[in-house]
Amino acid sequence: MQKKIDEEALAEAYNRALALEKSGDVEAAVAAYRQVLVLDPEDHGGAAVRIASMGRGETPDKASDAYVTTLFDQHADVFEDVLVEQLGYSVPMMVRQRLQALGLGPFKSLLDLGCGTGLTGGALRDMAENLTGVDLSENMVEIAHEKDLYDALYVGEAVDFLEDNDDGPFDLVTATDVLPYLGGLEALFFAAAETMEPGGLFIFSSETLPDDVFAGRRFMVGPHQRFAHARDYVLERLEATGFELVDLTDITVRMEDGAPIAGHLVVARLRNPS
């Protein structure tokens, strides 16, 4: 039986940890976030990625599902305004432009992982006969549903959905703004390959940092509590899971505190089994 969270104690502990982090007392903040994790092992507040963003503890393999769900459920109503208008996010249109520039498409069946409110679905709707979306946040999926863009919508975690999916195979899988919540990419890439047609395309965005910041690491949690991935690691994982690179573009994923966040837009093709 799941232990009931003491919401009052949790809020107090989390606010204390945030205040310590803001004050610059890293060690005390880390200790406070660890106390938060004791109170809330499922980590609805993202304490584990905050600890990692301060360069302490082990880098988690992903942001917790509870954190991602809570984050997007809370912000669903203002999501598009904040992301597009305030943070300058235009990756879905970049995806459309790259596909058109490369002469790729149209597609029979598109799977939009981390579909959110339907920004990528809206950008690509006329390029695919059938469109399926999946997102962890029920509130986001409800907004996407109201737009009437998708033929099917599901609430679920991307890898879990791919492993259990009976809707495929898909000849285009997109994952825009999904990798910043994942560290290790093996599970996502392998599961995507399993649900795709040979020759199908996998297109996704990732955030990155300078090589000297990675210091040999394959991925890390950056200063804004989002995962960044080294370019070579992304390419290595694609190769290992049966994809070949079609195109990799350096992009500005979004703005944060007035500064551009560097990233990559990657188009990969699932190799035909020999």
**Residue-wise pLDDT tens digits, 64-94:** 999 999 999 998 998 888 898 888 999 999 9
In terms of domains, do 107 and 182 share one? yes
72 is a domain residue: no
Q: Which of 212, 195, 200, 127 has its CA nearest to residue 158?
A: 195
Give yes or no: residues 133 and 189 share one domain: yes
Sign of CA dihedral 54, 57, 59, 62: negative
My answer on whether 18 and 120 are in the same domain is no
Same-domain pairing of 124 and 203:
yes
- Taking the whole predicted model, whether its pTM rises above 0.85 is answered as yes
Q: Same domain, yes or no, for 147 and 118? A: yes
What residue numbers bound the domain in which 56 lies?
Answer: 7-65
Which tens digit of pLDDT belongs to each residue from 20-59? Answer: 999 999 999 999 999 999 999 999 999 999 999 999 988 9
Confidence of residue 178 (pLDDT cuts 50, 70, 90): very high
Same domain for 227 and 121? Answer: yes
- Please, what is the Cα angle at 208 between 95 and 134, to 5 degrees? 45
- Identify whether 184 is part of a domain: yes
Query: Which pairing describes strands 152-155 and 170-175: parallel, antiparallel, or unpaired?
Result: unpaired
Give me the number of domains the chain comprises.
2
- Regarding whether 230 and 96 lie in a shared domain, the answer is yes
At residue 274, the pLDDT reads 60
Q: Please give the Cα distance from 35 to 252 (Å, whole number).
A: 36
> Is 214 within a domain?
yes
18, 129: one domain: no
